[in-house]
Amino acid sequence: MDFSERVKDLAGRSKHATKHALTEEATKTSVVLPLIQTLGFDVFNLNEVVPEFVADVGLKKGEKVDFALKIDGKLAALVEVKPITMSLGSAQFSQLYRYFATTEARLAILTNGREIWFFSDVDEPNKMDKKPFFTFDLQVADDAKIADLARFQKHNFSIETILATASNLKYANAAGAYLKKQLTNPDEDFVKMVARNIYDGMLTKTVVEQLRPAIQASLDEVIRDRIQAKLNVTFRAEPVATEEQIAKPNDTEPEIVTTEDELQAFLIVRAIAARWIDLERITLRDSKTYCSVFADNNNRKPICKLYFNAKTARHVGLFDAEKVEERVQIGSLSDIYKYAARIEDAVKTYL
């Protein structure tokens, strides 16, 4: 199996462990050791994988981190494991934090057998950052994330590259979080920054509050315009002409036009499906009688169909695990959310 297939095999192990691994040791055996092996380390070789790694820290003696990973005899990474029943957001990883400062390792990994958090010392040398620079969810992994995880394989391992990536990801994630916040509820500093470029008078508190709704509406419009432009270029596939149509063109044939309602419905489906797969994998293809939403622009990977061309009613085609379609009628676009679970189930078959 190639790396992607091995990671997908780990996803199955992780899902099984979610129901059956009740302890940290069970998590180690069922998921974490296979994970370390997938990254190219020999789990049976103490020159590569050292379990219960001891590194005394000041007055703290005999404390152990679950695994130390070595490459050519040098310490490359520390791995601390929590039970799969524990959320990493609530996990205490003080040992990992202390060990990082006293060993030569520049990479620290915290995992519960589902989530994998990667830490380094981007903020301050030899001091582990409080936040991970990269996170990976074994049970919700797309190709792009798997490609990022591949950087940590033993044969690819380059601490310089990892640290450069860590720095880039850290600031990119921070910038993304800030912009998302502004899109939802722009703060006063952001509103003032925009207002200085569009308003000539004094920016009093009253003026700022008056401009806030207009600035937020403009942000929404910019996002919609960018999505619409991308949809026009990427997601509208021209119908393939048959040999008969080429031989006998019909100039009276109506042009296929993707309506605003179809685009809005596609965006709703995309928002539902994006919980499981990357946005770029969710594609739209229009035809005379319906719009199809596929994974990977592949008609063998249907997510749903939008039947919006009838004058009296609109329907959505939903697919089960055998790709058998069922049409359901909707009264408004928001009704699509009622079928979110079924859309997600269709998407999960393409993970």
pLDDT of residue 56: 61
254 or 343, higher pLDDT = 343
99 or 75, higher pLDDT = 75
172 or 65, higher pLDDT = 65
pLDDT band at 161 (very low <50, low <70, confident <90, very high): confident
Residue whose token pair is 């099984």: 16
pLDDT of residue 84: 93
Give 93-107 pLDDT, tens digit per residue: 877 888 888 888 889
Residues 144 and 275: their CA atoms lie apart, in Å, by 14
CA atoms within 13 A on the CB side of 102: 18
98 or 304, higher pLDDT = 304
Least confident of 1-10, 166-175, 263-272, 318-327: 166-175
Maximum separation of any 2 CA atoms in the chain, in Å: 88
Least confident of 6-15, 168-177, 330-339: 168-177
Report domain 3-171's class: alpha beta
Give 84-94 pLDDT, tens digit per residue: 999 888 777 87
What is the amino acid identity at position 343?
I
136 with 116: CB under 8 angstroms?
Answer: yes
pLDDT at 233 over 60: no
Residues 125 and 140: their CA atoms lie apart, in Å, by 32
120 with 129: CB under 8 angstroms?
Answer: yes
pLDDT of residue 238: 42
Q: Where is 18: in which H helix or E strand? A: helix 3-20
Rounded to a whole number of angstroms, the CA Rg of the chain reads: 26
- Which residue ranges make up each domain of the chain? 3-171, 186-235, 244-348
Least confident of 88-92, 162-166, 273-277, 331-335: 162-166
40 with 150: CB under 8 angstroms?
Answer: no
233 or 192, higher pLDDT = 192
63 with 95: CB under 8 angstroms?
Answer: yes
pTM: 0.55
